A = this chain, B = another copy of it.
Amino acid sequence: MIIEVINTGSELLLGQVLNTHLGYFSEQLLPLGVRVTRADTVPDGPLIEQSIRESMSRADVVLVTGGLGPTSDDLTRDIISRMFNAPLEFHPEILDKIYTYFAQRKVVPGPLTRVQAFVPQGATVLPNNHGSAPGLYLQRDGKHLFCLPGPPRELKPMFEDYALPILRELFAGIPPLARKVLRVYGVGESLLQERVEHHILAISDQIEIGYCARLGEVDLRFIAANGELVKQASAKARELLGEAIYAEDEGNMEQTVISAARAKHKTIATAESCTGGLVAHRLTNIPGSSAVLQRGWVTYSNQSKVDEIGVSEETLRLHGAVSAECAREMARGALAVSGCDLAVALTGIAGPDGGTAEKPVGTLYAGLAWKDAKDEVQVESHHKLLVPKRDDFKLTASQFALNLLRLKLS
């Protein structure tokens, strides 16, 4: 089964919007035993037609996203009509549905809204319950073409409610593909391969092994038709990598921290200078984090470090705000003021300015404070040199801080 995706939209090629559709389709299709074979991105315009023709000549199923909206650069509907010799027909019930959708949101529909109620003859309408433009499904010469809206919040429910049932029938009999992603911290991509790959291939050469390195993490991926092999590969990798694996599949560092803290009934406070709130933001992305994260400070100015979490003016004078001493006092102060069980503190130089020979851009000091088994406060500090690029620095620093919390909670 060959499945191709065509993402339409000049904004994708211009990079104004990132394509999140592929991950979504993958997640939906793997349990059906298939995967996206290839994906084309084309601008609004005549290339959409060429791309659909090419994909339909190669693939069994073609999923087109975007270009169904009301504006002048939304061309998919017209292109399909021409390609399939299927004149556009006005469907008043679709227009009614769109008007109802707008009315519920107290939005006045403009005159352009109407074009979305035209459907190429013979196409099956895929209703849009979360937006205005309906989707389309057409068959031709045993090939299946789905036209879906671009915005994820419209695409996803439409795909699951109306496209997936058709695909499930189409792929009936194909065994599901098993996949496992192990997310690794602190081991580089090639070292990871050297440590893991030959052990996995010794289990079976039917296991597809993939590596994906990103800032501050590497994903190790197993895919196989036989789910048992994926289980064995994952168990072996866990044995080899131990604590370096911090999450699986859609999990992430913040999810692991929140789950571990909830399981142990521990509360957390954050004191952030250089990360500016990113650690707290990541933790609070997790539903249920309010049972864990009690409070956080963004102590960006020196004065706020003194006022809020009791960093001493002497420490700032003697060692500076970017120092192990300051990180320790921030963590200790955040723990004391918040009454939490753990506190993590970060201070560093995110750049682009503020670096010195001794403390270059990328310098991070992290402090961790916690109450030990005897309820006594313990504090440790860590010094790292991270990527000297502001946003990458913030991200890797937050990852480092979350990993400290994870290890302490494990």
Residues of B within 8 A of A71 (CB): 189-190, 193, 211
Residues of B within 8 A of A275 (CB): 281, 284
Q: How far is the CA of A70 from the CA of B211 in the complex (A)?
A: 11
Q: How far is the CA of A387 from the CA of B276 in the complex (A)?
A: 25
Residues of B within 8 A of A308 (CB): 295, 308
Cβ-defined partner of A351 (8 Å) among B70, B287, B301: B287
- Nearest CB in chain B to that of A294: its residue: B301
Q: Does B24 lie within 8 Å of A36, measured CB to CB? A: no
Cβ-defined partner of A284 (8 Å) among B277, B294, B353: B277
Q: How far is the CA of A283 from the CA of B272 in the complex (A)?
A: 14
Q: How far is the CA of A337 from the CA of B40 in the complex (A)?
A: 54
Q: Does A290 lie within 8 Å of B281, measured CB to CB? A: no
A65 within 8 A of B: no
| Contacting residues of chain A (143-160) with chain B, CB-CB under 8 angstroms | 151, 153
Smallest Cβ distance from A186 to chain B, in angstroms? 13
Encoded as 1 (CB less than 8 Å from any B CB) or 0, chain A from 9 to 35 comes to: 111111111111011111100000001
Q: Does A210 lie within 8 Å of B11, measured CB to CB? A: yes
Which of A83-91, A104-112, A325-333 is near enough to bind chain B? A104-112
Cβ-defined partner of A18 (8 Å) among B14, B18, B287: B18
Q: How far is the CA of A72 from the CA of B113 in the complex (A)?
A: 51
Cβ-defined partner of A298 (8 Å) among B23, B38, B277: B277
Q: Does A44 lie within 8 Å of B193, measured CB to CB? A: no
Residues of B within 8 A of A367 (CB): none
Q: Does A35 lie within 8 Å of B13, measured CB to CB? A: yes
Residues of chain A at interface, number, CB under 8 A: 101
| Contacting residues of chain A (258-285) with chain B, CB-CB under 8 angstroms | 270, 272, 275-281, 283-285
Which of A119-127, A310-318, A371-379, A389-397 is near enough to bind chain B? A389-397
Q: How far is the CA of A190 from the CA of B287 in the complex (A)?
A: 34
Q: How far is the CA of A72 from the CA of B198 in the complex (A)?
A: 11
| Contacting residues of chain A (355-399) with chain B, CB-CB under 8 angstroms | 387, 389-392, 394
Of all A-B residue pairs in the complex, the 4 with the closest CB atoms, nearest first, are A15-B23, A276-B284, A277-B277, A296-B298
A residues lining the B interface (CB < 8 Å) = 9-20, 22-27, 35-44, 47, 51, 69-73, 107, 109-113, 151, 153, 179, 181, 188-191, 193-194, 197, 209-214, 219, 221, 270, 272, 275-281, 283-285, 287-290, 293-301, 303-304, 307-308, 337-338, 350-353, 387, 389-392, 394
Q: A276-B293, A298-B298 are in contact. List 16 more A-B contacts (CB 8 A).
A: A13-B39, A14-B23, A15-B25, A16-B212, A22-B41, A39-B40, A71-B211, A272-B277, A276-B296, A277-B278, A278-B281, A280-B298, A280-B300, A294-B303, A304-B338, A307-B337
* 24 contacts across the A-B interface (CB closer than 8 A): A11-B212, A13-B22, A13-B26, A13-B39, A14-B179, A15-B27, A18-B20, A22-B41, A70-B190, A70-B193, A109-B190, A110-B193, A112-B193, A113-B190, A153-B389, A270-B298, A276-B280, A276-B293, A277-B277, A277-B278, A277-B284, A278-B281, A280-B298, A293-B300
